[in-house]
Amino acid sequence: MAATIPASHADLLRREKKAFAALALVSSKGLPHVTPMWFDFDGEHVIFNTARGRVKDRILSKHPTVALVVTDPANPYRYIQIQGPVVFESEEGDYAQIADLNLKYHGNRDYPKRPGEVRITYKVRPEHVTTMG
């Protein structure tokens, strides 16, 4: 069951805000792991992109539930917390999705291709959403 994003905090997920997410995962040893990440939101899913073989990819292949918090860059006391499962993972689209993120954060789609690197797109369905501020 997907949770609704409250209108009061929906701006934090929009591209114009250029906010980062702190993405929390649980490692195979059961330990917490948290990283600042670029993200996108398609109105339904929170979307991430990483490279095949990185820590995040290795963790998510075994433990596909994430939590994230997006804080208003202009107000650290205003944020949205989202928890939910990864419901989609694909190598399709190749660099198109990371180029979308590059556009959001840097204003252009010129994300550098690295030889041999395979990009993966993850989509998270929000199941629990809380807001502050």
Q: Segment near its own copies (CB under 8 A), from 6-14, 69-77, 94-102, 117-125?
A: 69-77
CB 119 within 8 A of CB 97: yes
Neighbour count for residue 118 (Cβ, 10 Å)? 13
Residue 102 is inside which H or E element, if any?
helix 96-106
* 26's tokens: 């649980």
CB of 14 to its own copies, least distance (A): 17
Residue selected from 68, 98, 101, 124 as contacting its own copies according to rule CB under 8 A: 68
Which of residues 66 and 101 has its CB atom nearest to its own copies in the complex?
Answer: 66
Which of residues 38 and 119 has its CB atom nearest to its own copies in the complex?
Answer: 38
Using DSSP's 3-state secondary structure scheme, residue 128 falls into strand
Residue selected from 79, 86, 98, 124 as contacting its own copies according to rule CB under 8 A: 79
Sequence-ordered alpha helix ranges (H) in the chain: 55-62, 96-106
Give CA–CA dist 5/92, Å, rounded: 27
**Interaction residues for its own copies, span 1-60 (CB under 8 A):** 20, 22-26, 30-36
- Binding interface with its own copies (CB under 8 A): 20, 22-26, 30-36, 63, 65-69, 71, 73, 76, 79, 81, 83
